[in-house]
Every structure is written in structure tokens, then in C-alpha cells.
Amino acid sequence: MKILVPVKRVVDYNVNIRVKADGSGVDLANVKMSMNPFDEIAVEEALRLREAGVATEVVAVSIGPKESQETVRTALAMGADRGIVLEADGIIEPLAVAKLLKAIVAEEAPGLVILGKQAIDDDSNQTGQMLAALLGWPQGTFASKLVLGDGGIEVTREVDGGLQTVRLALPAIITADLRLNEPRYASLPNIMKAKKKPIDLRSASQYGVDLTPRLTVLKTAEPPVRPAGRRLASVAELVDRLKTEAGVL
């Protein structure tokens, strides 16, 4: 079984982003970019399934600017077998990403697609669900555990109030939550090896998918800043202020 893992190039987890003064967007000049952390977890899970003998090949695919090759290269350094980049500039919304991924699925015929549950830049949490819909496949979102069995997969999902386990027919879509695994670091030899692994660079426009955004961003703003609070000297003072000043006790 082949596993397809879509990976997104995003602003690194540790970067404090800055909104441009004219409200036109987020300043991405000279900002460190990395693979979306949830996608790293998705790559790791696919590699573990290959190492367990369940999967035979792991293919990483990214959609975005040509620098997305670096993100795919990271997946290859972790251990993915080969990569595909669909080059596209500007904002590509989850719906358009799902349509492009559907085309890749048609070419590659994977038994599983494992995605991150959300990208930490747009925080949409949609692409996996949308891909499942367009393919007519079942979806196991927010997964914290996968067990592959005969013709199906059991997915333990993180839901409000606890965990839910569902059984899905294959092929299926999985989206990874934080506790699915701890992704490995790429070792230096594997980083060197990854440089020789193939990445197929294509234009996203060749798939006939309308990439025009459905949502127009009218403005990007900084969130309101909470006024600075005060340090208190004692527990007694805290209780007093919560009662009298804040009125929350």
C-alpha cells in the first residue's frame, strides 16, 4: 500500500509574526519557514507504517511556491521515498488544495492519505475533510492512534470530552493530531541521502482546477492588546482584588 502525505510550508512555529502596518497581510519577508508541525506528525506516521511492513511507499506532496521543494525535501530527509511539488503562487485555499490533491490521488492511487489536522498559518482545519468529501472516502480526523486491520483501519480520535474510536473502510483519509506520535529528526546521513531522492516539480495550473480564492481578505489586523496587569505581593492581596476590583469571586 502506498501512502500519500501532503505537507505545507508555513511560518515556523517559533516565529512571532508581524502584521503589516497597512493591514495588507502578514510580513513574511526574511521569516523562517518550516514544515507545518502537524504535517511532520503525518509524515512520521506514514514512515512508521512503512517500517512496520504495512505500507510500501511514502510519497510527500506540497502545493505552494517553488520553495515548497524545501518542505518536501524535509519529508524526504525524514524518510519519505519521493516527492511531488505543485507550484502555485498566492493564497491557495483548502478547497482548491483538496481539488488538486484529488487529482494527485487519481494518479498515485494511495491506500491512505495522512494529513496534518490544520496548518498553523491559516488555522482552517479543512483540507483533509474536503479531500475525503471529494473522493467519497471515509475520514478519521484528529487522530491520536491508528490500527490497520483487514480491509479497514481503526482510528482513535481526539474529540471534545475524550476519545472516540471509529472503523473506516479503505482507502481512507486520516488527519493527525498532536498525540499521534513524536516525529523523528532527520539525521545528517539521511539529509544527504534525501538530496538524491526525486522531486517531481509541476505547475498546479496543469490540473484545470480553478484556484481563484472564494474568500477575499479585506483587511489583516493585529489582535487587541490586553493592557498590562500588575504584580501582586501576596495571596491575600490577590483574593482581595479578585473580590473587590475584578468582581469575579
By CB under 8 A, what part of segment 147-186 binds another protein? 154, 157-169, 177-179
Among 105, 115, 131, 211, binds another protein (CB under 8 A): 131
**How many residues are there in the chain?**
249
Could you count the other beta carbons within 10 Å of the beta carbon of residue 91?
Answer: 15
Residues with Cβ within 8 Å of 188's Cβ and at least 6 positions away in sequence, in order, are: none
Establish if 125 lies at the interface with another protein (CB under 8 A). yes
By CB under 8 A, the count of residues binding another protein is 79
Query: Is 59 near another protein (CB under 8 A)?
Result: no
Question: Among the candidate windows 10-18, 64-72, 79-87, 189-197, which touches another protein by CB under 8 A?
Answer: 10-18
Coil, strand or helix: which one is 109?
coil
Rounded to an integer, what distance in angstroms lies between the CA atom of residue 166 and that of residue 138? Answer: 10
Kindly state whether residue 144 participates in binding another protein, applying the rule CB under 8 A.
yes
Supply the minimum distance, in Å, between the C-beta of residue 203 and another protein. 22
Select 136 or 198, whichever has its Cβ closest to another protein: 136
Grid coordinates given for 215: 474568500
Q: Does 109 bind another protein (CB under 8 A)?
A: no
Q: Return left, alpha or beta for 157; rule: phi > 0 is left, psi -120 to 50 is alpha, else beta.
A: beta
Q: Does 132 bind another protein (CB under 8 A)?
A: yes
Options 70, 122, 145, 193; binder of another protein; rule CB under 8 A? 122
Look-up of cell digits 481526539: 158
